[in-house]
Amino acid sequence: MKTIKNKRVNRYIGEDNRFEIIDILGQGGMGEVFKAYDSKLHELVAIKSINKKFNNNRAVIDIFLNEAKTSLKITHPNVIRVRDILFFEGSHYLIMQFVDGIDLKEWMRLHKDIKDRDAKKMYEFIRPVFEALDYAHQYTVHRDIKPANIMLDNENIYLMDFGIATVTKGSKITDVIKDSHKVVGTPAYMSPEQQKGLKDIDKRTDIYAMGIIYYELLTNQKPSKQDILLASYFNDSVNPQLDMIILKMLAFNQEDRYSSCSDIIRDMDALFIGKLDTKEIKIDTIKDDINQDRFTTVEEGNFYRGSGVESKIEVEKPRRKIYLDTYRISIYPVTNREYLEFLEKNGLDYKKEFKDIAKKRPNYPLTNISWDEAKAYCKWLGGSLPTEAQWEKASKGTRSRIYPWGNQFNDNYCNIENILGDSVSVDSFEDGISQYGCYQMSGNIWEWCLDDFDENFYKKRESKNLNPCCLTKSDTKVIRGGSYDFVKSSARSSYRYYAKRNHKDKTIGFRVVLNEIK
C-alpha cells in the first residue's frame, strides 16, 4: 500500500498511547487514513479519521459513524473489518483491519496491457467480492462500489468503505446524504437511478456497479451507458451465456437486473464451474488402518449448546440442552503430513510446494483446504467432519466451560489475536486442552464443520435437541474455533462463524469425527 510522507506521523492516539501512527496511507478533504501499530494486540491496523474542521459538523460525523456502525455488523472474510470506534481528544476514529496491498484501481492500471483476460479466471478473481456483497446486503446497500474500494493483498481480495451506505435493517441511523437529496457515489460506476438522485436505491445499484467492474476486467474498458457493446466483442473467452449475464447486471431498469448477488454467483458457477468444485471425490476408506491413539471418545449424553450471559451475540442463542450419541473426535487438527499421505495413497494431484511445506512443517495444521476436500479426507478415514454440536461439546465439555480450559481467558493457553503471528504445531498449547483432551479448540486455525451456517438455526423448532445438524444445501458452511489472527472473543467454545464451501484460506483446517465406535 502506498504511503504519503507527512510530518504528522510518529504520534500517538488512544488511551495509554495505544496506537502509534506510522504512515499516512491516504488523505483528502474529508479526512485521512493512517497506518498504525496497536501496542495492545501487537499488530498493524488502519485508522480512518475525520478532518478536524468537521469536528462540529453533525452531518459529516453521522456519515462517519454510519460507516462504523454498519461495518461492525459485517463480519465477512472478504470485507475489511472495522474493529472499533474511538473518540480521542475531540476527534472520531475508525480502527480497521490493515491490508498490505493495493486497490483494484491500481491493479487495473498495472495490468492494463495483459492479454490473458480469460473470463473464468477473471470471475474466480472477483467472485469473493460478489460473496462479500451478498452477505453485506443483509444489512446495507454500499452505494459506492468501485475499484478503489476493493483491496488486494497477496492472498485475498476485500471490499471496503461503507461510508455512504444506507442501513436497511436493524438500525435507526439517519442516512444524512439521502435526506439531503445529494447524488453520492462515483459517476463512472453509478447506476442510472443513482445518477438521477432517486431515493429508491437498493442492492441492485451495487449489482450494476459490479457489472461494470467485471466488464472492465474482461475488456479493459468501461461499458457505455447506452447501446452496450457485448463483452464478447472484445474478448473471445466470453460466450453468449456470459454476455447475457453481464447485460442483466447492467440493465438500465432496476427491475430488469439480478435481484441478488447470490443469483449471479449461481448462474456464473453453473456456467464456469458446474459441479466440479462440489463433486464428491471417489476414494476407498481405510477404517482398519486408523491410528486410534489420535482420537478421543466423547460419551453419549447432554451438554449445553450456545452461550449464556457471557455473550450478547444472537447467533449463539438460545442456550439449550442437547443430547449427542457417542462419537470419537481427533485430538488434533489434521496435519500437513497426514494430508500428504492421503494424497499420495490415493494418487491425487498436488503442487510440489505443498510437499515442501509438509516436509518443513509436518506437524502443523493443514490449511488452504476447501470444505469438500476436507470432507473427502474424513471419508477416507471412514468418518466425517464434526457436526457443529459435536465440535462444541468436544470443546466445552459437559461442564459448560466458556473456553476449553475453563471460564477465564488466558492468552498463554491459545494462539489468537496475532500473539505469535502464525500458526503453530498441533501439539502446542497443552495447557489449553479441553475436557476430552482435544488440542487447539481455541485459536491457531478455524475448523470446518459439517453443518450449513444458518444464523437462526439455534432459534428454530426444527433445530432438534437430539444430534442436531443443519443441512440445507447451502454453500455457506460453519467454521469454529477462531484462528491465530482473529479476535479474542472467537476463542469461546460457543463462537460461530462461516465460510463458503469452496473457500481456501491459510487460517482454515479441520479435524475428523468417527461415529462408528469400536
Could you report the per-residue pLDDT of 107-143, keeping only the tens digit for each? 999 998 888 899 999 999 999 999 999 999 988 888 8
| Bond from prior residue into 77 cis (ω within 30 degrees of 0) | no
Return the pLDDT at 21.
93
Q: Does domain 102-274 have CATH number 3.90.76.10?
A: no
> Is pLDDT at 65 greater than 90 in this prediction?
no
Q: Residue 99: what are its φ and ψ, rounded to 5°?
A: -115, 120
- C-alpha R_g of the chain: 24
Give pLDDT tens digits for 497-508: 999 898 889 999
| Side-by-side strand order, sheet with 102-103 | 102-103, 150-152, 157-159
The DSSP string of 331-348 is SSPPBHHHHHHHHHHTT-
Give pLDDT tens digits for 187-245: 899 999 998 887 778 999 999 999 999 999 999 999 987 778 999 999 999 988 899 99
292 — pLDDT class (breaks 50, 70, 90):
confident
One-letter amino acid for residue 263 of the chain: D
> Is pLDDT at 75 greater than 50 in this prediction?
yes
How many residues would you count in the chain?
Answer: 518
- Give me the sign of the Cα torsion angle 55, 61, 67, 72: positive
Q: What grid cell was written down for 327?
A: 462419537
Distance CA 310, CA 362 (A): 37
Bridge-partner residues for 323, per DSSP?
Answer: 302, 466
Mean pLDDT of 303-326: 91
Return the pLDDT at 170.
34
Matching residue, cell 510522507: 5
Return the pLDDT at 61.
84
Return the pLDDT at 186.
80
Q: What grid cell was written down for 59?
A: 452531518
Work out the number of other CB atoms within 10 angstroms of the CB of residue 485.
Answer: 20
Distance CA 108, CA 117 (A): 12
Return the pLDDT at 184.
54
Return the pLDDT at 209.
97
Return the pLDDT at 171.
30
Bridge-partner residues for 23, per DSSP?
Answer: 35
Return the pLDDT at 8.
55
| Better-scored residue on pLDDT, 352 or 458 | 458
Strands 446-452 vs 508-509: parallel, antiparallel or unpaired? parallel
Burial class for 178, CB neighbours closer than 10 Å (0-12, 13-18, 19+): middle
Strands 320-324 vs 301-305: parallel, antiparallel or unpaired? antiparallel
Give pLDDT tens digits for 135-176: 999 888 888 999 999 999 988 899 988 754 443 333 322 333
Return the pLDDT at 208.
97
Return the pLDDT at 285.
54
Cβ–Cβ < 8 Å for 79, 135: yes
One-letter amino acid for residue 77 of the chain: P
> Is pLDDT at 63 greater than 90 in this prediction?
no
Distance CA 74, CA 67 (A): 11
Return the pLDDT at 243.
92
Distance CA 29, CA 36 (A): 21
Return the pLDDT at 173.
27
- pLDDT, mean over the chain: 86
- List the domain boundaries for the chain: 12-97, 102-274, 287-514
Return the pLDDT at 319.
92
Work out the number of other CB atoms within 10 angstroms of the CB of residue 429.
Answer: 21
Contacts of 351 by beta carbon, 8 Å cutoff, 6+ apart? none
| Percent with pLDDT over 90 in the chain | 54
> Is pLDDT at 274 greater than 70 in this prediction?
no
Contacts of 8 by beta carbon, 8 Å cutoff, 6+ apart? 21, 24
Return the pLDDT at 181.
36
Highest mean pLDDT out of 39-43, 169-173, 374-378: 374-378
Cβ–Cβ < 8 Å for 127, 267: no
Cβ–Cβ < 8 Å for 202, 193: no
Return the pLDDT at 128.
94
Q: What grid cell was written down for 338?
A: 497426514
Return the pLDDT at 169.
34
Return the pLDDT at 291.
66
Vertex 47, ends 139 and 189: CA angle to 5°? 50
Distance CA 73, CA 139 (A): 8
Give pLDDT tens digits for 420-463: 989 999 999 999 999 999 999 999 999 999 999 998 899 886 55
Return the pLDDT at 5.
46
Distance CA 178, CA 257 (A): 23
Contacts of 29 by beta carbon, 8 Å cutoff, 6+ apart? 51
**50-54, 259-263, 385-389: which has the minimum mean pLDDT?**
50-54
| Nearest alpha carbon to residue 475 among 454, 496, 505 | 454
Q: Could you say which of 3.30.200.20, 1.50.10.150, 3.40.50.10470, 3.30.70.360 is the CATH number of the domain covering 12-97?
A: 3.30.200.20
Distance CA 219, CA 452 (A): 37
Q: Does domain 287-514 have CATH number 3.10.28.10?
A: no
Distance CA 328, CA 414 (A): 23
Cβ–Cβ < 8 Å for 83, 36: no
* Helix extents (H) in 34-141: 58-73, 104-110, 119-136
85 — pLDDT class (breaks 50, 70, 90):
confident
- Strand ranges in 183-286 using DSSP code E only, listed in sequence order: none
One-letter amino acid for residue 159 of the chain: L
Matching residue, cell 501496542: 39
pTM confidence score: 0.53
